[in-house]
């Protein structure tokens, strides 16, 4: 009828010569249901109501996979509807010019109907069905661009993954490629270490939806960690073990607060023998220096073959006058590469992200933070390559940290970093005005003083659980 946004179905894309025999259709119903139609109006895939919200940008991808008889609708990086029994035969002879932002009913100009009331951008049509990984790439391309240089100078994330086939009436964008990890030639690490029996207990916190909690490597001591007693001058400094962290208190090592990194590296080099620690910048990278009124702290990230070791940090504390008094260490000495993990990882980051979202049970995605490839130390002293991912989900609500084995796809760590606390309180149930009051509110129940407490009111309060207190 040519009227925009009048409470009717609104088409984003349409190909066909009549709405009843459409060849291709993407539309939204007034209740927020998204519809993806192929091969006529009786072959449509629908989402739940309320999926598409007004006044917000959304990323919608529809996939029709003929060889696998599958159709899917993706919204903002999450598959929200799918059909694995679709018979993917296209209509023949019902084609017309592709309509963007409206449907077409009949020939000639002025035949457009059911207009979309909004803005459409970055429309693209592909000659093949996109995989789950490729759809997530399109939604969050920056997540997979590490910014590292490839041989020849090409930046990760700048390659074309698949050539688009786009009608002349549509302006499309080429998809970005997957940022592959670049690793050096794997070395061979010697195997020396001492076992310290510590329970592999999980840290406190929530569990991903439908998944058991995974122990964080920060909560266990592995065979690769060596925390000896240090002989200092005429005395000894014994480590205080907390989880996988060893704290050495009582140093009196001279230093300069104006040169915190240099001071920290000097004491770490002096202690590198008994700690079995490699202190050069290729193995211990400065993360940050924090200055307080009376102290400074330099924190270093352990590296192994050029990549970070997950949760492996060393910090050095200096007093106001510059002397070092404390070292905190979560360092993995003499790690060796786990079988099958030498060289480039078999699993790329987008595939790992799909695994993590499945484990969490993400139904509505808020944001994906850039991930990185790390070494995950195992209790036996070996290290596996893993993708470290941070997924911010709206449903289920949470900020999920996941580590996915870059060879097997196993979930190594999975937890919600947002912790919620429940409490208790007292509320009136039902309304005391209804049960004990009169037309003047609480006047009669309060001895003539409005809003004052009374025994009659107190007995009507009940205990309730107050959930998810921040």
**Interatomic CA distance for residues 171 and 198, integer angstroms:** 59
Query: Which fold does the domain 10-121 belong to in CATH?
Result: Jelly Rolls (2.60.120)
Q: Which residues pair with 319 in a beta bridge?
A: 295
Q: Are 52 and 28 spatial neighbours (Cβ–Cβ below 8 Å)?
A: yes
Based on the number of CB atoms within 10 Å of its own CB, is 51 exposed (0-12), middle (13-18) or buried (19 or more)?
buried
d(CA 449, CA 432): 16
Q: Are 355 and 346 in contact (CB under 8 A)?
A: no
The domain ranges of the chain are 10-121, 230-331, 421-469
CA separation, residue 350 to residues 51, 353, 389 (Å): 24, 5, 10
Q: What is the pLDDT along the chain (470 residues), one digit of tens a residue?
A: 334 445 788 999 988 766 556 778 899 999 999 999 887 656 788 999 888 888 888 999 999 888 888 899 999 888 888 887 877 666 656 677 788 999 887 766 677 888 898 899 989 999 889 988 788 778 766 444 333 222 222 222 222 222 222 222 222 322 222 222 222 222 222 222 222 222 222 223 333 333 333 434 444 456 778 888 888 766 789 999 887 889 999 998 988 999 999 999 999 998 998 999 999 999 999 999 999 999 999 999 999 999 999 999 999 999 999 999 999 999 999 899 999 999 999 999 999 999 999 999 999 999 999 999 999 999 888 999 999 999 999 999 999 999 999 999 999 999 999 877 888 888 877 776 666 665 555 555 555 555 666 777 777 788 888 877 76
**Structure tokens, 410:** 């196993």
């Amino acid at each position: 009828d040519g009227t925009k946004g009048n409470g009717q179905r609104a088409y984003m894309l349409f190909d066909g010569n009549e709405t009843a025999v459409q060849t291709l259709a993407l539309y939204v119903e007034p209740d927020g249901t998204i519809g993806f139609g192929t091969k006529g109006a009786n072959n449509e895939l629908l989402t739940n109501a309320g999926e598409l919200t007004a006044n917000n940008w959304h990323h919608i991808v529809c996939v029709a996979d003929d060889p696998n008889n599958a159709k899917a609708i993706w919204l903002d990086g999450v598959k929200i509807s799918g059909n694995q029994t679709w018979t993917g035969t296209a209509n023949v002879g019902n084609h017309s010019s592709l309509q963007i932002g409206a449907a077409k009913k009949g020939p000639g100009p002025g035949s457009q109907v059911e207009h979309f009331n909004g803005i459409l951008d970055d429309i693209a049509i592909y000659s093949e069905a996109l995989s789950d990984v490729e759809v997530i790439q399109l939604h969050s391309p920056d997540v997979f661009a590490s910014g590292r240089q490839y041989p020849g100078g090409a930046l990760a994330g700048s390659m074309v993954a698949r050539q688009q086939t786009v009608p002349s009436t549509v302006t499309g964008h080429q998809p970005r490629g997957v940022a592959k990890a670049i690793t050096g030639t794997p070395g061979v690490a010697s195997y020396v270490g001492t076992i310290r029996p510590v329970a592999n207990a999980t840290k406190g916190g929530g569990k991903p939806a439908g998944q058991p909690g995974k122990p964080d490597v920060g909560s266990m001591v592995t065979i690769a960690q060596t925390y000896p007693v240090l002989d200092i001058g005429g005395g000894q400094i014994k480590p205080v073990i907390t989880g996988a962290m060893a704290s050495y208190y009582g140093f009196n090592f001279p230093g300069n607060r104006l040169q915190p990194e240099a001071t920290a590296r000097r004491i770490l080099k002096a202690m590198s023998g008994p700690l079995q620690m490699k202190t050069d910048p290729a193995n211990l990278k400065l993360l940050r220096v924090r200055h307080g009124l009376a102290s400074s702290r330099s924190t270093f990230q352990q590296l192994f073959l050029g990549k970070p070791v997950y949760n492996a940090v060393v910090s050095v504390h200096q007093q106001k006058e510059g002397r070092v008094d404390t070292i905190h260490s979560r360092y993995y000495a003499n790690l060796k590469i786990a079988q099958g993990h030498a060289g480039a990882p078999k699993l790329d980051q987008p595939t790992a992200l799909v695994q993590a979202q499945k484990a969490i049970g993400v139904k509505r995605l808020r944001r994906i933070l850039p991930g990185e490839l790390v070494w995950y130390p195992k209790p036996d002293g070996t290290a596996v390559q893993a993708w470290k991912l941070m997924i911010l989900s709206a449903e289920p609500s949470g900020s999920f940290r996941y580590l996915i084995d870059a060879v097997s796809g196993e979930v190594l760590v999975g937890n919600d970093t947002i912790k919620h606390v429940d409490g208790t309180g007292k509320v009136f149930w039902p309304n005391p005005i209804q049960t004990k009051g009169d037309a003047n509110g609480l006047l009669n129940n309060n001895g003539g003083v409005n809003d004052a407490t009374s025994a009659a009111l107190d007995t009507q309060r009940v205990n309730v659980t107050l959930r998810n207190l921040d």
